[in-house]
Copies of this chain bind each other. A is one copy, B any other.
């Protein structure tokens, strides 16, 4: 049996001393702003070369600071098949640098199709260590992802409560018992993730959940509903959540979650433009400040 993903993730977090993850959301228009010297020609191929150079530098800079990176598939898919090739190449590069990788693909479908997605995104040699999935199809849509994660020593983060402003209107609707929709989904994730073959030595399942820091009250309740789930926590930084908001996703011992920041780290240079630092220095400073901020708020 391959090592359980949750065990691997918790171990990596301890080694780096901070439960944080940098999101790789390479937006060409903003990279160009950070590194205009790279932009010496038009065309998709040239853009992709700029994106690649940016991603590689970011991975090298953050590798000593954070245990994991999250690659946002959408920003690679923008370049069609060449972007997808780069996505898998960057996963490989991140792994060479000792980073755990989360593929933020948010796939989800009926069982037979979910099996193809699981094969595509969790099974191959260069598949990431974990992916995000959408749970709207329910148990039979999640089953192929769970089986593949179990068999390959990989992990899942099922979307439960997302970080965007409209999430509440859809996900927080309460049923006749007063239970929010996302709490029901959370109970389903807890049930599906609670099998001996899925739970590692530290008591956490390889089936985790996405729980936004922008909804700390909900996160606190969800911590009870999903005791064995590692929470992947978006919403810090550019989306407005503070480290104190993020702390709601953790257990009292300071474990059980990993906070992601993407734009606030990648594009830190936009804020520091006149501070006399290079974009790379800005990324490093922002990554260190992010890790320190979360470490301080979580304790443990």
Task: Name the distance in Å between A117's Cβ and chain B's nearest Cβ.
Answer: 5
Q: 27 interchain pairs (CB within 8 A)?
A: A27-B116, A72-B116, A74-B114, A77-B84, A77-B120, A77-B121, A78-B116, A78-B119, A78-B120, A79-B120, A80-B85, A80-B120, A81-B84, A108-B134, A111-B164, A134-B134, A136-B136, A137-B164, A137-B166, A137-B167, A137-B170, A138-B164, A138-B170, A140-B164, A141-B166, A174-B176, A176-B178
A88 touches B80 (CB 8 A): yes
Number of contacting residues on A, CB 8 A? Answer: 60
Q: Indicate if A220 sits at the interface (CB-CB under 8 A).
A: no
Q: Indicate if A175 sits at the interface (CB-CB under 8 A).
A: yes
* Chain A residues numbered 154-193 whose CB sits less than 8 Å from any CB in chain B: 159, 162-167, 169-171, 173-176, 178, 181, 184-185, 188
Q: Name the B residues within 8 Å of A188 (CB-CB).
A: 169-170
Binding site for B on A (CB under 8 A): 25, 27, 72, 74-75, 77-85, 88, 106-114, 116-117, 119-121, 124, 134-141, 159, 162-167, 169-171, 173-176, 178, 181, 184-185, 188, 234, 239, 263
Q: Name the B residues within 8 Å of A134 (CB-CB).
A: 106, 108, 134, 136
A88 touches B77 (CB 8 A): no
18 extra A-B contacts, CB within 8 A, seeds A81-B88, A170-B184: A25-B113, A77-B120, A78-B120, A79-B120, A80-B85, A80-B120, A81-B81, A106-B109, A110-B164, A110-B234, A110-B239, A134-B134, A135-B170, A140-B166, A141-B164, A141-B166, A175-B176, A176-B176
Q: Name the B residues within 8 Å of A84 (CB-CB).
A: 77, 80-81, 84
A239 to B110, CA, bound (A): 10
In the A-B complex, the 6 residue pairs with the closest CB atoms: A138-B166, A81-B85, A74-B116, A138-B170, A110-B164, A77-B120
Task: Name the distance in Å between A232's Cβ and chain B's nearest Cβ.
Answer: 14
Task: Name the distance in Å between A61's Cβ and chain B's nearest Cβ.
Answer: 22
Q: Name the B residues within 8 Å of A137 (CB-CB).
A: 162, 164, 166-167, 170
Most chain-B CB neighbours within 10 Å: which of A85, A166, A176? A166
A165 to B110, CA, bound (A): 9
A83 to B77, CA, bound (A): 13
A169 touches B80 (CB 8 A): no
Q: Name the B residues within 8 Å of A109 (CB-CB).
A: 74, 106
A93 to B84, CA, bound (A): 21
